[in-house]
Structure 1
Amino acid sequence: MAPVRVRETIVIPDDELSWRFSRSSGPGGQGVNTTDSRVELSFSVADSRVLSATARARLLERLSHRLVDGVLTVVASEHRSQLRNREAAADRLAALLDDALRPPPPPRRPTKPSRSARARRVEQKRRTGETKRLRRRPDDG
């Protein structure tokens, strides 16, 4: 299979990828029982030589819940053919890595509601209370 392109600057060579094939559940009828169409694609983030130190650290931190001994594994079994599942697994791996490599968003600057926004909120609450008061049954007295 071809190398996996994560970004323009990061291309994972074939020798760093490990493929495993097994029988799949799901669509395929009787063919499911005989064809190894399920695909597991593994990539060792900890041992990769194409990642910079910063990229490796970011991936290890952000994907820590998905890594087993520094290895990221992606599974694809939604298609009937092994080839399409291989493509799906490669796309999934690339998307996962690309998403995890994105820089964190800038921190939110805390803001306070404006005076007019607070006044609108209080006025709305007053109107709601008035509406509910008018729905009540008048006191017998």
Structure 2
Amino acid sequence: MIEVTHRIHLDPREIKESFIRASGPGGQNVNKVSSAVELRFDAKHSPSLPDGVRERLMKLAGRRLTLGGEIVITAQTHRSQELNRAEALEKLVELIRAATIVPKARRKTKPTRSSQEKRMESKAKRGSVKRLRQSKHDD
């Protein structure tokens, strides 16, 4: 079991890994070795995730989320396949941890009476300055 939080554990069978050739520099090694990792996690149908976490995770995933509800994470920074696997898994775990944080509900607030009065006084002052600047034309 992969521990995300003390309450959420992922079954390794829910994660599918495929190895692809990495792009970028590396000479012949890049052309021969499939060291990049593409990790897929079906967030939409995962039994390990509570509903609220699942919804927030799918929002957080952004363009990494497929139409079928799978999250696709690619790691190719290391030349080693094992290091790329660990990095991709860590990215997934961090994304799920971020989804466990429940955003604070926004409460509507009303401006205080003194702040309203200050605002009206400043508006009146600004209006009087503009009035004084106007030239008086006799037509």
Give me the TM-score of the superposition, normalised by structure 2: 0.68
Q: Does the residue aligned with 2:74 lie in a helix, a strand or coil?
A: strand
Match of 2:19 in 1: 21
Tell me the amino acid that sits aligned with residue 93 of structure 1: L
Letter in 2 for 1:73: V
Long gaps (5+) in structure 1: none
Tell me the equivalent position of 2:88.
89
**Partner SS, residue 72 of structure 1:** strand
Q: 2-side partners of 1:114 and 1:37: how far apart?
A: 61
TM-score scaled by length of structure 1? 0.68
Q: 1:76 to 1:130 in 2, by over 3 A?
A: farther
- Percent identical residues: 36
- Cα pair 1:45 1:59 within 8 Å, conserved: no
Partner SS state of residue 29, structure 1: coil
Q: What is aligned with 2:3?
A: 5
Take 2:86 and 2:72, find their aligned partners in 1: how far apart are those partners? 14
Give the whole-Å Cα distance in 2 for the aligned partners of 1:103 and 1:118. 33
Q: Cα deviations across residues 93-125 of structure 1 (Å, max 9, x unaligned)?
A: 11112222333423x221111122233344555
Paired position in structure 2 for 1:80: 79
Unmatched tracts of structure 2, length 5 or more? none
Q: 2:41 aligns with which of 37, 40, 43?
A: 43
Bigger mean CA deviation after superposition, 37-46 or 15-24:
37-46
DSSP-derived class of the 2:116 partner = helix
* Count of residues in correspondence between the two structures: 132
Which residue does 1:71 correspond to in 2?
A: 70
CA RMSD of aligned residues (A): 3.2
Partners of 1:130 and 1:35 in 2: how far apart?
Answer: 76
Following the alignment from structure 2 to structure 1, what is the Cα–Cα distance between the partners of residues 77 and 130? 53
Contact persistence 1:4–1:90 (CA under 8 A)? no
Cα distance change on mapping 1:115 and 1:13 into 2, 3 Å: same
